[in-house]
A and B are shown apart, each in its own frame.
Chain A
Amino acid sequence: NAGVTQTPKFQVLKTGQSMTLQCAQDMNHNSMYWYRQDPGMGLRLIYYSASEGTTDKGEVPNGYNVSRLNKREFSLRLESAAPSQTSVYFCASSRGETQYFGPGTRLLVL
């Protein structure tokens, strides 16, 4: 099993550009999550999906949209990137309460 995979690994955007971060899991988990990690701060939840077809906002949802494409895939979209969205983004999945994380996408917005 690959676990949780994320693409791309690294991306540079200009302010105002859009992009979609992809996440997939092969563990047959129902729930999936998007977090961001910034220096000096803990990981913060952006969006959450309890199951296919449902999504909920987390602590820092502004500027982001998500799509739960199917049970395996959960994407995060930045419609108009801002420098404040420079961060490392982690996708996670869980069946019960334990969350398993992907390797991350490093995003730099200039």
Chain B
Amino acid sequence: EDQVTQSPEALRLQEGESSSLNCSYTVSGLRGLFWYRQDPGKGPEFLFTLYSAGEEKEKERLKATLTKKESFLHITAPKPEDSATYLCAVQASGGYALNFGKGTSLLVTP
């Protein structure tokens, strides 16, 4: 059975303090690993799709990386506006559903 575990559950950073969020997964053949950002009261906002081990993608202060067992979302010099819940999801080969983790709640303080 596909499984996605995100850690930590919550993370508090000072503005400018870089860190990483972890997404560990097990899936019967990976079609894609997805990162989303969700603000309170809003729907998930797409950030990245990663397809194979070794792949990396960047967007502003965010960088996502992928290995065969986990993905990291690196946040460099975060700002308060980066505060949100970050969701990781996997899609199995031949499947259509996204299997989501529970998310990491990030708070960046000035």
What is A's interface to B at a CB cutoff of 8 Å?
Answer: 4, 31, 33, 40-45, 48, 50, 56, 58-59, 90, 97-104
Contact = CB atoms under 8 A, between A and B. Distances in A.
Interface in B28-54: 31-32, 34, 36, 41-46, 49
Contacts of A45: 97-98
Contacts of B97: 33, 45, 48, 58-59
B103 A101 contact: no
Given A97-B49, A97-B91, A98-B49, A42 B43 contact: no
A41 B5 CA distance: 11
Query: Which label, helix, strand, loop or mixed, suits the secondary structure of the B interface?
Result: strand
A103 B43 contact: yes
B73 interface: no
B72 interface: no
Contact of B42 (A40, A59, A104): A104
